Structure 1
Amino acid sequence: MPKIASVITRNVVVVRPDETLQRAAELMSRLDVGALPVYDGQGLVGIVTDRDITVRATAYNKRPDETLVGDVMSEQTLSCTEHDEIDDVAHMMGEAQVRRLPVLNREGEIVGIVSLGDLATRQEAEDLDHTLRDISQPSDQAIQLA
């Protein structure tokens, strides 16, 4: 079975939790990405997305030059290793309803990130449909807000 290492994006830029949202947004813009893993110098502590910046900060009038990444990031407890099988990672992403997943080596260091787009290049159409359907399901919280 193919390993996730064969489809990941390597050389991932990370951001620290004590950096500002403005810095994170600048990095996202320059790199043309929608998410950055958050690394505290010892390990992965979260992920910050363009949506986190918009919904958790801008919507509540938080200043991007004063608000820290750690204040709005999604605490990341979900990751995979570069040795995991593609199908297993796709299933995990679908179950957790995430579109991006940090990839770690055996020592717990960030070696890449895998996105739904990365999976699209390698999965069978039926498998990808299932993963996309799972990721796109409204969360229980969204249903309660409606």
Structure 2
Amino acid sequence: MQMVSQVMTRDVRFVSPQESLQRAAQMMDEMNVGALPVCDGDRLVGMVTDRDITIRGTAAGKAPQDCHVDEVMSSDVRWCFEDQSLDDVMQRMADTQIRRVPVVSHDDAHRLIGIVSLGDVVTKASGRPEDVDRTMEKISTPSEPDRSPAGTGGGSPAAGAAAAGGTGLGSAADAGDTRAPEIGTPAGTDAAGASGASGGTASTTGTSGPRTGPRP
């Protein structure tokens, strides 16, 4: 049975909650990724995507150089552990249509130690290629509209939150919770398609920590 530790990308680059949206966007551009973990020190506290920056930041009239990441990020982020079964993570990715899952430590701090992307699954998963194909197909299936047509007044606040940035694996607010976490950030929060997600990783080193990111 293949484990998350066998396919995950380590030394992941992250952004601080107090970093500006402009800097977060620059980091995404440098690494050619569409999402970054948000960490306070090395503790995972959220995820920020290019869609968060666009919808919660730019569209809301916030100045990229003045607005902080914690104003637009998703704090309800799901994660997994490196000793979890890859099959389990793949199933959860498919069920929730997510393309990347942060990997955290088992201690109460839930320190960020890596990330599993759809690209990692496609290029590194061994055996049963039909499972990989099924995961990609489910993640790539169009989801329900993020919001109701203008003027209808339909849609729930939860749906709106998903449209703006989405929720993820286990809540960062529950970092002290030792129960087995769930995984992911819904695919609707990421502008990139599955084909882009399978394009590998980018890795460098920078001021915000080691930089490694799955291609969006």
Pick the TM interval, shorter chain: 0.7 to 0.9
Equivalent residue number for residue 29 of structure 1: 29
Q: 1:3: Cα distance to partner?
A: 0.6
Asked whether the equivalents of residues 101 and 114 of structure 1 are also in contact (C-alpha less than 8 Å), the reply is yes
Number of paired residues? 145
Which has the larger displacement, 131-140 or 19-28?
131-140
Q: Which amino acid aligns with 1:60?
A: A
Equivalent residue number for residue 61 of structure 2: 61
Give the alignment partner of residue 131 of structure 2, picking from 117, 127, 131: 127
Equivalent residue number for residue 72 of structure 1: 72
C-alpha separation in 1, matches of 2:79 and 2:140: 19
Q: Normalization by structure 1: what TM-score? A: 0.87
Q: Which amino acid aligns with 2:102?
A: P
Provide, for residues 86-110 of structure 1, a one-character-per-residue CA deviation record: whole Å limited to 9, x for no partner.
1111111122221111011222211
Equivalent residue number for residue 114 of structure 1: 116
Cα RMSD of the aligned pairs, angstroms, is 2.0
Query: Aligned with 1:60: secondary structure?
Result: coil
Asked whether the equivalents of residues 81 and 104 of structure 1 are also in contact (C-alpha less than 8 Å), the reply is yes
C-alpha separation in 1, matches of 2:101 and 2:71: 20
C-alpha separation in 1, matches of 2:143 and 2:33: 24
C-alpha separation in 1, matches of 2:45 and 2:141: 26
Check 1:87–1:110 CA distance in 2 against 1; reply closer, same or farther (3 A cut).
same
Provide, for residues 53-108 of structure 1, a one-character-per-residue CA deviation record: whole Å limited to 9, x for no partner.
12222223321101111111122431001111111111111222211110112222
C-alpha separation in 2, matches of 1:18 and 1:56: 16
Asked whether 1:45 is paired with 2:45, we answer yes
C-alpha separation in 1, matches of 2:59 and 2:147: 20
Check 1:134–1:42 CA distance in 2 against 1; reply closer, same or farther (3 A cut).
same
Q: Which amino acid aligns with 1:29?
A: D
Q: Normalization by structure 2: what TM-score? A: 0.61
Which has the larger displacement, 127-136 or 32-41?
127-136
Asked whether the equivalents of residues 45 and 75 of structure 2 are also in contact (C-alpha less than 8 Å), the reply is yes
Query: Aligned with 2:101: secondary structure?
Result: strand
Q: 1:143: Cα distance to partner?
A: 6.0
Segments ≥4 residues shifted beyond 4 Å: none
Q: Which runs of 5+ in 2 are unaligned?
A: 150-216
Q: Which runs of 5+ in 1 are unaligned?
A: none
Q: Which amino acid aligns with 2:129?
A: A
Structure with the larger RCO, 1 or 2 (CA within 8 Å, 6+ apart): 2
Check 1:110–1:59 CA distance in 2 against 1; reply closer, same or farther (3 A cut).
same
Provide, for residues 37-57 of structure 1, a one-character-per-residue CA deviation record: whole Å limited to 9, x for no partner.
111237211101122212222
Equivalent residue number for residue 136 of structure 1: 140
